[in-house]
Amino acid sequence: MRSGRWNSSASGSRNWRVRTGFALRASAFPTHRPVWGSCGRDGRILLNWRLMMLPPHLVDYVAAHELAHLRELNHSPRFWDIVSLLYPDHRSARRELNALASTLPDL
Ligand SMILES: [Zn+2]
């Protein structure tokens, strides 16, 4: 699957671009790895296409998580402070994401 623009209407890249100034792209990840997104040192953010099978608010959480990595390339308290600013209810979203992840079919 080729990389392409993320077109979810509920949590589209335009929304995040307006809020943070950064653009998002969706891409394919190997399905055997439970990776929802990644942020490279070059500032490129990739999102797992399987997020399309999840509720839009969880897509927003993953997007917020990866955008926070543009400032902190770790999971330090400072990183979670940034996530909290972008997505205040991140703890419950994370729990929900972990619970739903095991229910998704492997394609
Ligand atoms: Zn992370």
- Under DSSP, the state recorded for 38 is E
Query: What does the DSSP assignment read for 27-50?
Result: E---TTS---EEE-TTS-EEEEGG
- Mean pLDDT estimate for the chain: 80
**Ligand 1 centroid – CA 34 distance (Å):** 12
Residue 45: strand, helix, or coil: strand
**Ligand 1 centroid – CA 38 distance (Å):** 7
**Residue boundaries of the structural domains of the chain:** 4-101
- Which residues, in sequence order, are CB contacts of 99 under 8 Å at separation 6+? none
Rounded to whole angstroms, how far apart are CA atoms 48 and 24?
11
Q: Is residue 8 over pLDDT 50?
A: no
**Ligand 1 centroid – CA 20 distance (Å):** 17
Rounded average pLDDT over 3-20: 58
**Stated pTM of the model:** 0.70
Of 19-28, 39-48, 97-106, the poorest mean pLDDT is in 19-28
**Which secondary structure element, helix H or strand E, spans residue 47, and what is its range?**
strand 45-48
**Ligand 1 centroid – CA 64 distance (Å):** 10
Q: Is residue 26 over pLDDT 70?
A: no
**Ligand 1 centroid – CA 49 distance (Å):** 17
Q: Superfamily assignment of 4-101 in CATH?
A: Metalloproteases ("zincins"), catalytic domain (3.30.2010.10)
Rounded average pLDDT over 24-53: 76
